[in-house]
Amino acid sequence: MSKQLERVAEFEREKEQQAAQLFQQAQLNVNQQKQKLTSLEQYRFDYIRNIQQTGQGGVTAQHYQQHLSFVGKLDKACEQQMNVIAQANLAADQRKQVWLKQQQKVKAVTLLLEKQQRAKQQKEAKAEQAMMDEFATQRFFRAKKQGF
């Protein structure tokens, strides 16, 4: 029984490590997606600043319309990236929950193993005490027998 439980514990520990790894990867993905958004927002800011600087010299209406259209596309890209981040956060949260549940399983199996180990040790200690009591009893009777 104990060997089987040890195998189950090892299996659950491996599953917990895999779940932790998947959660870590999901966290990394969230961070990467946030960095992409930051880069996109920085590019948008720089582009608008550049338009303002070149616009001081005057631009045609068509040129101005092209710039506005591109800024609109950058805004849409930022919005889409925010959606990607929200989805990545959701996936990371789900993986975290799986990992936490797996940690609970590992803890439960580990506690059961420890309980079995304590019970085994108590049983062995009781058997050893009974054997010591038996030796003491025999020694007492031998000593009593020799004293007569």
Task: Give the dihedral sign, CA 67/72/76/82.
Answer: positive
Query: In whole angstroms, what is the distance from residue 16 CA to residue 22 CA?
Result: 10
**Domain map of the chain by residue range?**
2-106
Query: In whole angstroms, what is the distance from residue 81 CA to residue 55 CA?
Result: 29
User: For position 31, what pLDDT does the model report?
Assistant: 98
Q: Quick one: what percent of the chain has pLDDT higher than 70?
A: 98
| Structural contact between residues 116 and 68, judged by C-beta atoms closer than 8 angstroms | no
Residue type at 4?
Answer: Q
Confidence grade of residue 109 (pLDDT, cut at 50, 70, 90): very high
Confidence grade of residue 1 (pLDDT, cut at 50, 70, 90): low
Tokens encoding 2: 């104990």
Query: In whole angstroms, what is the distance from residue 148 CA to residue 134 CA?
Result: 22
Q: Is the pLDDT score of 93 beyond 70?
A: yes
Query: In whole angstroms, what is the distance from residue 69 CA to residue 60 CA?
Result: 14
Query: In whole angstroms, what is the distance from residue 116 CA to residue 109 CA?
Result: 11
